[in-house]
Amino acid sequence: MRVKVLVALSCGLLAAVLGAWLVRDAGHSATAAGNHRVFVPGLANGSAAQPTPTPTPTPIGGGGGGADGVLDIFVEIEIVAKEISVVGGGVVDIPIYASAVARLPAPSQAPVTVSGTVTIGPHPPDLIGCAWNRIYARSDFTMTVSPPPAGSNGITLSFEAPEWHYDVTICQTGGTVRAPAFGEQQMLAFLGYAFPEFGPPAGAPVDVPEVSVAPDCIKRELNVQRSVQLADVTLRIVIYEPPCLLPLP
């Protein structure tokens, strides 16, 4: 009888936490995530493949061979996402790392789209022993770089990024619960929580200033970090003449 009571309490706790998360997260998703999807197009479902390994943070220029006037752009996104759990006040830190390298198009050229790399850390088992199995609706990461206006330092970026939910296995019963109950968690939503100006009504290019103290091959660079309730996000953009060994930030 005592075992049945414990199982009932555990399952009730999980259901309560999941319900609280859905109520709280709905408000954030309706603003930050929804707005971000307008600026960041193409969030279509894909295959549930595993995320690619974490790339090196010091890449060599991606093609171009150092030809006069040719520039590459390196974009790095680091996120500590506050995801639903039954520990730590109902959330757990999930690290997300994504990066991509593309040729920077000239003002008269077409946008450039490249595949990048992304790694999402596993969700740990929670306090009552439930295992969180991530199910991907899409698992790839791509970046599109639009040509900057002539004479501008503004860079317009758009992404397609992973989306997922969890099948939570209750160890006491062997049953599973979907979290969230409907919809998907989105990497771009966590990015949008910290950088809402990426979406409308702004939707403006990101200003990447020139650098004065750096290797000669690095022309412009931006490093910015923001912390909000559901995410800590660091964004790094480097524009450089390849080949170039990029220093750690």
Which pLDDT does position 22 carry in this prediction? 38
Q: What are phi and psi of 26, to 5 degrees?
A: -60, -40
Give which of 90, 91, 82, 93 is closest to 13, Cα–Cα.
90
Cis, bond preceding 162 (omega within 30 deg of 0): no
Give which of 84, 81, 93, 92 is closest to 15, Cα–Cα.
84
Q: Is 24 helix (H, G, I), strand (E, B) or coil?
A: helix
DSSP per residue, 162-209: -EEEEEEE-TTT--EEEESSSS-EEHHHHHHHH-GGGSTTT-PPEE--
Which pLDDT does position 89 carry in this prediction? 63
Model's pTM, two decimal places? Answer: 0.73
Which pLDDT does position 173 carry in this prediction? 79
What is the domain partition of the chain in residue ranges? 2-240
Report how far apart, in Å, the C-alpha atoms of 91 and of each of 21, 40, 87 are. Answer: 9, 26, 6
Calculate the CA 69 to chain-centre distance.
31
Q: Average pLDDT across each block of 10 residues of the chain; the chain has 249 residues. List them in order.
A: 38 45 40 31 32 40 49 96 78 95 92 97 85 95 87 86 93 84 93 76 76 89 94 96 89
Q: How far apart are CA 47 and CA 121, in angstroms?
A: 19
